[in-house]
């Protein structure tokens, strides 16, 4: 009889016979021993985290921006909510040790299905998957997990929809007219103050190209340069500061509608109900309500105003100035996103005619 042997010289056929003769209890002991050896010789645990929430807090320690921390928390909690089918779960409800590659793949399929039905955007799908992948990679790197269930996860490519999410100059004019109309037709002083605030928000987001997450502005962020031109000091992604000049007329309108004390820490915009700084969701509702009054066929988000600012400015403003205003890290990003070719534009129309 020809025997099959491993590289170590062990008779595998004979070993198979021995294993077949073992009782279930003996096999269980061997399995537990092997797992213990693998655990001991695997990635050393370099974190003191014992629970999912402790691990999550450890992961976020290196994130300095409060906005980034909030976004990561929301993204990971979306996965936890989906995984456990609980509306308001706690992070510790999820045992990461039981999370599998199939869970991650099924979650990706779930997000893509929601994108297909128009419930979420591709950008949201990409961000949620990237956040989850980063968190699980960290769990593996620090030895909390032996294997990364998201190691093979591929984040779907970005879809360039900036052009579709850019308002025309005519649409911007219609929005501004609608906001002014609401101010003029306000039935009470209270409603007029509210309408003026909403009008200012619309104009500031367009002229300042401000992201909705950068909206926590106070009067301390308002300054004037040596030429007397007003500007706002905006803290953007990665806590990067940028100075955004705004039209003098807009600044004067802001001053004229300042409601409270001269305290520098006073927010530019507050909720009339609570007196607290106006939140991102409220700003989205304000832009939506103005668009509905204007009768636009497309309902823009505040970020559309940023896209529109950059696209309209690109017609007669040097790219490096737009890049500085938007807070982009390079002019290439600005060019790739905002130098759109119009339907009536072509290099062929600029060539000399020879007949």
Q: For the range 59-66, what are the long-range contacts, defined as Cβ-Cβ under 8 Å and sequence gap of 24 or more?
A: 59/134, 59/135, 59/138, 59/139, 64/239, 65/237, 65/238, 65/239
According to the model, what pLDDT value does residue 34 have?
Answer: 64
According to the model, what pLDDT value does residue 347 have?
Answer: 67
According to the model, what pLDDT value does residue 116 have?
Answer: 87
Higher-pLDDT residue of 39, 118 = 118
Which band of pLDDT confidence, cut at 50, 70 and 90, is reported for residue 292? Answer: very high
d(CA 126, CA 281): 21
Query: What's the mean per-residue pLDDT of the chain?
Result: 85
**Minimal CA–CA distance to 76: which of 62, 65, 63, 60?**
60
According to the model, what pLDDT value does residue 333 have?
Answer: 83
Whether 90 shows a pLDDT value over 70: the answer reads: yes
Q: What is the pLDDT of residues 28-62, one digit of tens each?
A: 777 767 666 555 555 678 888 899 999 999 998 87
According to the model, what pLDDT value does residue 161 have?
Answer: 73
According to the model, what pLDDT value does residue 3 have?
Answer: 43
According to the model, what pLDDT value does residue 164 have?
Answer: 82
**Minimal CA–CA distance to 165: which of 283, 328, 300, 325?**
300
According to the model, what pLDDT value does residue 283 have?
Answer: 94
Ranked by mean pLDDT, the top range of 28-37, 120-129, 283-292 is 283-292
According to the model, what pLDDT value does residue 304 have?
Answer: 94
Q: Which residues contact 163 (CB under 8 A, 6 or more apart)?
A: 311, 340
Distances (CA, A) of 163 to 82, 152, 346: 32, 32, 17
**Minimal CA–CA distance to 208: which of 171, 247, 175, 176?**
247
Q: Could you give the percent of the chain with pLDDT greater than 90?
A: 48
According to the model, what pLDDT value does residue 33 have?
Answer: 73
Q: What is the pTM of this model?
A: 0.59
d(CA 111, CA 83): 12
Q: What is the pLDDT of residues 215-268, one digit of tens each?
A: 678 899 999 888 889 999 998 877 788 999 999 999 999 988 887 667 788 888
Please compute the mean of the pLDDT values over residues 179-185 and round it to a whole number.
95
d(CA 190, CA 70): 33
Q: What is the pLDDT of residues 302-340, one digit of tens each?
A: 999 999 999 999 888 999 999 999 988 888 888 888 876
Orientation angle between helical segments 331-338 and 319-326, nearest 10 degrees: 100
d(CA 59, CA 23): 44
Which band of pLDDT confidence, cut at 50, 70 and 90, is reported for residue 87? Answer: confident
Which band of pLDDT confidence, cut at 50, 70 and 90, is reported for residue 123? Answer: confident
Whether 5 shows a pLDDT value over 70: the answer reads: no
Least confident of 101-110, 189-198, 236-245, 278-287: 236-245
Least confident of 19-28, 82-91, 145-154, 223-232: 19-28
Please compute the mean of the pLDDT values over residues 11-25 and round it to a whole number.
72
């Amino acid at each position: 009889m020809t025997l099959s042997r491993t590289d170590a010289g062990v008779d595998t056929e004979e070993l198979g016979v021995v294993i077949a003769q073992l009782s279930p209890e003996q096999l269980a002991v061997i399995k537990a021993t092997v797992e213990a050896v693998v655990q001991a010789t695997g990635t050393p645990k370099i974190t003191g985290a014992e629970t999912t929430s402790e691990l999550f807090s450890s992961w976020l320690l290196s994130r300095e921006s409060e906005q980034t921390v909030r976004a990561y928390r929301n993204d990971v909690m979306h996965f936890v909510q989906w995984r456990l089918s609980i509306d308001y779960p706690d992070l510790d409800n999820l045992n990461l040790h039981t999370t599998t590659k199939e869970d991650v793949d099924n979650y990706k399929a779930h997000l893509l299905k929601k994108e297909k039905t128009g419930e979420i955007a591709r950008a949201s799908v990409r961000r949620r998957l990237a956040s989850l992948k980063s968190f699980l990679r960290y769990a593996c790197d620090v030895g909390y997990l032996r294997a990364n269930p998201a190691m093979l996860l591929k984040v779907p490519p970005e879809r360039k929809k900036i052009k579709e999410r850019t308002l025309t100059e005519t649409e911007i004019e219609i929005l501004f007219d609608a906001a002014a109309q609401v101010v003029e037709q306000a039935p009470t002083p209270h409603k007029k103050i509210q309408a003026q605030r909403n009008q200012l928000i619309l104009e500031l987001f367009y002229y300042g190209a401000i992201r909705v997450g950068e909206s926590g502005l106070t009067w301390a962020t308002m300054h004037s340069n040596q030429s007397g031109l007003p500007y706002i000091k905006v803290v953007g992604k990665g806590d990067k500061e940028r100075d955004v000049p705004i039209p003098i007329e807009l600044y004067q309108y802001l001053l004229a509608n300042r409601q409270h004390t001269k305290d520098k820490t006073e927010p530019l915009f507050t909720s009339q109900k609570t007196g607290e700084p106006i939140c991102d969701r409220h700003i989205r509702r304000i832009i939506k309500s103005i668009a509905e009054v204007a009768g636009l066929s497309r309902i823009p988000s505040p970020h559309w105003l940023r896209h529109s600012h950059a696209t309209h400015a690109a017609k007669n403003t040097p790219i490096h100035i737009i890049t500085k205003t938007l807070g982009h890290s390079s002019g290439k990003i600005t060019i790739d996103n905002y130098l759109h070719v119009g339907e009536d534009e072509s290099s062929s129309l600029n060539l000399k005619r020879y007949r």
